[in-house]
A and B are shown apart, each in its own frame.
Chain A
Amino acid sequence: MLRVDIPERRAWKTLANELGFHFHTIDGAPYWKEDAYYQFTLEQVEQDIESPTEALHEMCMELVDKVCHSNALMQRLAIPEFMWDTIHHSWKAGQPPLYGRMDFAYSGNGPAKLLELNYDTPTSLYEAGFFQWVWLEQAIEQGLLPRQADQYNSIQERLINAMAHLGDRLEGRTLYFSCVKGSDEERATVSYLQDIALQAGLNAPFIYTDDIGLQPGARHFVDLDHQPITAIFKLYPWEEMADDTFGRQLPLLDTHWFEPPWKAILSNKGILPLLWERFEGHPNLLPAFFEDDASAPLAAGWVRKPFFSREGSNISLITPSGEQQTVGGPYTDSPWIRQAYHSLPRFGDKHALVGSWVVGDRACGMGIREDVGRITKDTSCFIPHAIV
């Protein structure tokens, strides 16, 4: 794994704007950067990222099954009791997932270490699945990369296949898409998923999560025309759904959600100590413990994370040599875990994080984020990768 300088494509910003990628620059700061790329070998991709991702995914599925059958574990993960049945039944009924992302600390040598799972509301999908792919094709075309250069990326293709399979199970081949108002980036991510759904032959209407309606006596949530929503994708986390005004109605209505309710188990950082407990010593896992576990034996250097945190918020860390870093944020009312500190690889002053994508049950691609800090945040830049 190397960080290699490379010329930018001609007029890529114009292209980005034409292709709906308006958040390539956020508040004047670059988000997408292509003056460098991360270079991998095929062996690194297949042996160190792809294969461990699928193995870890299977371990996660095993844990979901275990948690679904244990009220004690549901409680341990701070999942409200009125959701337990819904979660259990969504799992038992085999409600299919769409996608997820694992974040790894990986330097090119030694096993990739799982930092966390983003299995409920993962973003950076468009950048990884589409714009990164276009970058590679054009970089080859413009002679910036050799013709045999490749990329670990069948994310969009996999998503189209997954949606095509889902289509037959959805009433009227219709899947609504939703996100909350006020975030261009999230709206764009959902647009991309709608685009994929259209390519898979689905009807893909959009409704803001805030506009979803509830009618007395109706079996489904309803859209702005009071029509039933039988199936809907939400870029909005389960723990917030459950906590919202309509939360208690969720188990009572027949609306199918994507991601399905059982993903609530994996979108919770409490899953990390549970993984360590069950698969202790696995080369791709870091030691992790619930903070209230008095016997937790962590060596010097740890990371403290709340159960529910996104984009690096409310995470603090201390390195083995005593350096500290903290990111503030709103997630202060849930329990905490501690995970052994494992440094991200450094390239100059940049720390790189590997996001490994899973669609259905298959690993299918990768996106790299980098930051001068040790904690990857919503402002961390996306840098493309190539297999050379």
Chain B
Amino acid sequence: MDTHNHPAQLPRRKRSARLTLAMMGTSAFGLTACVEPAPDEHVTEVSFDEPRSFQSVEECVAANVYTRSACEDAHAASLESVPRFDTLEACEAEHGEGACTAPNEEQAEATGGGGSWFMPAMMGYMMGSMLSNTNRGRSIERVYQEPVYRNRQNQGNWNAAANQATQRVNQRNEAMRSSVVQNRQATTRRGLGTRSASWGS
């Protein structure tokens, strides 16, 4: 069943390096793996810049937002997390006919080369950066990334598409709406969630 072919490199770590709580509990909490904990540290502010999508390292560098090494790291990390397959058939079995490709030279190089493998065609990668201020005044900056490689993730702009759908529904219901007396304070509640039981699963 397993067709993933991870390159023989560093041992893969399966857990996050650092986790923090921002607000839960009486004292917020932060820990970094394999480093002395800082029990009183908590994040006071986190800001993200808008993630941008790039097709290649060159395009990322040209955008003049990140350094070349950040672009390369994010690209390589994105590639790391793209599923790999030993054969084209195995990849297509999971991702659909014509959806898979062998890595190009840049992609092969970014992951240290070696072996032959296949992956779902990568449409690019998303990059953004995160800046955290803690109560100790330290800032932790890191770049986060996500590969963009599946057709489903490229269905276009979610809001634009959703607006079209709701527009259609709105038109259908315009007649109903215009007949309703507009009283903005006449709010009804207790119309959802009224079966107070436990729903978690």
A contacts, CB < 8 Å to B: 17-21, 42, 45-48, 51-52, 54-55, 58, 61, 85-86, 89-90, 92-96, 111, 118, 120-124, 130, 133-134, 136-137, 140-141, 147, 150-154, 156-157, 161, 164-165, 167-169, 178-183, 185-186, 189, 191-192, 194-195, 198-201, 208-219, 221-222, 226, 234-237, 240-241, 244-246, 249, 251-252, 254, 256, 267, 283-284, 310-311, 330, 361-362, 378, 387
Contact = CB atoms under 8 A, between A and B. Distances in A.
Contacts of A267: 201
Given A136-B15, A216-B182, A19 B197 contact: no
B90 to A, nearest CB: 10
A284 B2 CA distance: 12
10 contacts: A46-B6, A54-B83, A61-B152, A120-B201, A134-B29, A157-B16, A180-B199, A201-B48, A221-B192, A244-B193
Given A186-B200, A192-B24, A245-B194, A95 B189 contact: no
A164 B14 contact: no
Given A58-B95, A94-B152, A133-B19, A180 B193 contact: yes
Interface stretch (B55-63, B110-118, B157-165): B157-165
Contact of A92 (B31, B51, B83, B161): B161
Given A121-B199, A182-B196, A378-B198, A191 B24 contact: yes
Contacts of A180: 193, 195-197, 199
Interface residues of B, number: 80
Contacts of B65: none
A201 B12 CA distance: 29
Contacts of B94: 54-55, 58
B22 interface: yes
B119 interface: no
Interface string B50-85: 110000000000000000000000000000010100
Contact of B199 (A17, A92, A186): A186
Contacts of B38: none
A266 B3 CA distance: 26
Given A182-B196, A212-B191, A216-B186, A168 B29 contact: no
A367 to B, nearest CB: 13
A288 B192 CA distance: 33
Given A58-B94, A200-B46, 11 more contacts: A18-B27, A92-B155, A151-B15, A156-B19, A161-B144, A165-B126, A168-B50, A169-B158, A198-B23, A200-B48, A246-B191
A255 to B, nearest CB: 10
A120 B190 CA distance: 21
A122 B201 contact: yes
Contacts of B189: 210-214
Contact of B25 (A20, A214, A240): A20
A150 B24 contact: no
Contacts of A140: 34
B14 A311 contact: no
A237 B117 CA distance: 41
B102 interface: no
Give the dominant DSSP class at A's interface. mixed
A310 B201 contact: yes
B173 A252 contact: yes
A194 B193 contact: no
B1 A311 contact: no
Contacts of B20: 199
A209 B25 contact: no
Contacts of A194: 23
B34 A147 contact: yes
Contacts of A120: 201
Contacts of A137: 31, 33-34, 37
Given A92-B165, A94-B156, A235-B199, A212 B193 contact: yes
B17 to A, nearest CB: 8
Nearest to A148: B11
B185 A226 contact: yes
Interface in B131-189: 144, 146, 150, 152-153, 155-156, 158-159, 161-162, 164-166, 168-170, 173, 176-177, 180-189
Contacts of A198: 22-23, 46
B21 A210 contact: no
B124 interface: no
Contacts of B13: 150
A153 B16 contact: yes
Contacts of B166: 254
Contacts of B155: 92-94
Contacts of B15: 133, 136, 150-154
B104 interface: no
B9 interface: no
Contact of A201 (B33, B47, B83, B165): B47
Contacts of B156: 94
Nearest to A155: B16
Contacts of B181: 216-217
A123 B201 contact: yes
Nearest to A162: B146
Given A89-B165, A212-B192, A217-B182, A18 B19 contact: no
Contacts of A181: 193, 196
